[in-house]
Structure 1
C-alpha cells in the first residue's frame, strides 16, 4: 500500500540545456519507470503511490517533467509537445542507466508512454497503461457523455462559457468541480500527494497541450490518436482503469482491442486514481503482472 517514502537518490539531468530532476527509490534489479499525468503536474502523486514497490524488490524511478516540480520552468510554449517529452524520457532513462524498464504511464503519462514505446521498443520490458487513452477524439466523445449526466441546462451553461472563454466563472468552475469528484478522485478527502501536485500545477504545458480543465480538450493533443499503431507494441501490456474514470473503460477497451495481447482490469469503486481510491484491488493486479513478466 502507498505511503510517503523519502527517495534514495535525487538526480539532476540536463536535457537540451534544461535541468530535469529525477527521484530514485530502492536498489532492485528491475525498474518501474513512472510517467505521471498532467501535463504540468509534479510527479509527487504518482511517485508516492508507487515508491512502495521497493517492498517487493523493485527500483522505482519518477521525474518532474520539464516545467514542473523541481525541474526548470521555461515559458516557451514551443517546448510543450509530446515529441519533446518522449526524448526527455529517453534522456532520463539513459542518464540513470536504467536499462530495460517496466514503463508505467498514468493519464497524460500514458499517452507519453505509448509514444515512447513506439519510438524505443527495445528499452521496455513491459508497458503499464493506467487510466489513460490512445485516441483523443474518442475520449472527447466520452467526456461529452459524462458531462451530459449533469443535465442539459448545466451542459448548455458550460458550452456558453467555453464559447466565451470564461473558464474561471464560478458556475462553470462549480460544474467542473462536480465532475472532478465523480471522475477524477471520489475520496471525500484527497490524499496529500495529490493535493501537493495540484497545488503546484503549471498551467502553461497543460493549457497548451490539453486545455483549460479535465473535461475540455482543445490543446495540441486534441487530434492525437495512436490506435492504428498499437499493433506494433509487442511487449506485455497491462491496462487498468477505474469504473468511474474520466478516461473511461470504453477508452480502455479501445486500446485493448488494438493491442496484440493486453490484459485489462477495471477497478471497482474508483475513478482516475485507483491506487488511492481502491488500493486493496489495485496493488495485487499490478504486482501479479510485474511478477509474471519480470526477469526474476
Structure 2
C-alpha cells in the first residue's frame, strides 16, 4: 500500500529557537501525527509508509525531529532528552494548528508518544504504538534472549567487544548485522525510504539516548519505564508488533496488560520491526479498521 508521495506542504518552523521541518499530506478533517524512530533518524521511512493514508481522508503529518533530516542539527548533547522532545512535539502540533490528533509512534517514536500522551492527554484522540515498548529494562532482557540465539561463543564475543568499547570491530558488526536482518527488517533488500533514513542517521542523539546499536542500551533512556503510568492513558490504543520484532511481542503484551481494558494488539506475521514494509497486508487493514473505529 505504501509508496513515495510528494508532500502537499513542506513547512519550516521555528521551534524553541531551532529550525524544524514538517511535512503535510492531504487535508482531511482527521490528523494522523507520526513520530518516527531513532533517535536521530530523519522521518523519511515512517513518512513514506503512512503518507498514503491521505488517500483515505486523513491529513498525515510528520516532522524531522531536532537533530535529524532537514531540521537543524545543533551539537549539544544536553538537548537529547525525551522531555525536550515531548515539548518539541507539542510545539510542532500547536504551530501547525493540528488540534487533537491520532498519534502514531514507531519504535523510539512510541516511547515519545507514550510520554506525550501522558503529558498532553487532551491533544490525543487515539494512540498507535507501533513496534515499541514502555519498559526499557524489560526490553533489555528480551534483547538478551534474541542475542542468545546467536550461540554462546558469539554472545561472549559481543560482550568482550562491548566491555572494550570496540563496537566497530568487523566480527561485532557482523553479529549486529545478522540481528538486524532477523529483527529489524527481514526483507532481502531494504526499501529506499529505510535506506535513505539510515544513511542520514545522526548518531549524536542516538548514542546519548539509546546506545551504539539496536541491541545494546547504554544511554539516558536505559532505565525508562512507563508501565506504572499506562493506566492513566484514556485514549483508545492500538499496539502493533512484528512477529519477529526486536521490540518483541512480549513487550507488546506487557503494554497491553498495563493499559485500560480495550487496547487492541496486531501481531503482524512474517515481519519484524518494519511491518509496514515487510507485510503491508498484515499492517494496513488493522490500522485502518482501528482508525475508522475511533473516527466513526
State the TM-score, normalizing by the size of structure 1. 0.99
Deviations 1:222-277 (A, max 9, x none): 00000000000011000000000000000000000000031011000000000000
- SS where residue 245 of structure 1 aligns? coil
2:288 corresponds to 1:287: yes
What is the deviation of 1:99? 0.5
Separation (CA, whole Å) in 1 of partners of 2:287 and 2:81:
29
What is the deviation of 1:22? 0.3
**Structure 2 matches for 1:16-55, cutoff 5 A?**
16-55=16-55
- SS where residue 63 of structure 2 aligns? strand
What is the deviation of 1:172? 0.1
What is the deviation of 1:15? 1.3
**Structure 2 matches for 1:108-257, cutoff 5 A?**
108-257=108-257
What is the deviation of 1:19? 0.4
What is the deviation of 1:57? 0.5
**Structure 2 matches for 1:93-108, cutoff 5 A?**
93-108=93-108
Separation (CA, whole Å) in 1 of partners of 2:42 and 2:210:
16
Separation (CA, whole Å) in 2 of partners of 1:2 and 1:100:
25
Separation (CA, whole Å) in 1 of partners of 2:200 and 2:131:
21
CA RMSD of aligned residues (A): 0.5
Separation (CA, whole Å) in 2 of partners of 1:283 and 1:36:
17
Q: Give the corresponding residue for 1:75.
A: 75
What is the deviation of 1:156? 0.1
What is the deviation of 1:16? 1.4
- The gaps in structure 1 that reach 5 residues or longer are none
What is the deviation of 1:55? 1.1
Separation (CA, whole Å) in 2 of partners of 1:280 and 1:137:
32
- SS where residue 20 of structure 1 aligns? strand
Of 14-23 and 246-255, the range deviating more from structure 2: 14-23
Q: Give the corresponding residue for 1:274.
A: 275
Separation (CA, whole Å) in 2 of partners of 1:147 and 1:226:
25
State the TM-score, normalizing by the size of structure 2. 0.99
Runs of 4+, deviation exceeding 4 Å: none
- SS where residue 270 of structure 1 aligns? coil
What is the deviation of 1:112? 0.1
Q: Give the corresponding residue for 2:88.
A: 88
Q: Give the corresponding residue for 2:65.
A: 65
Separation (CA, whole Å) in 2 of partners of 1:141 and 1:28:
42
- SS where residue 20 of structure 2 aligns? strand
- SS where residue 37 of structure 1 aligns? coil
- The gaps in structure 2 that reach 5 residues or longer are none
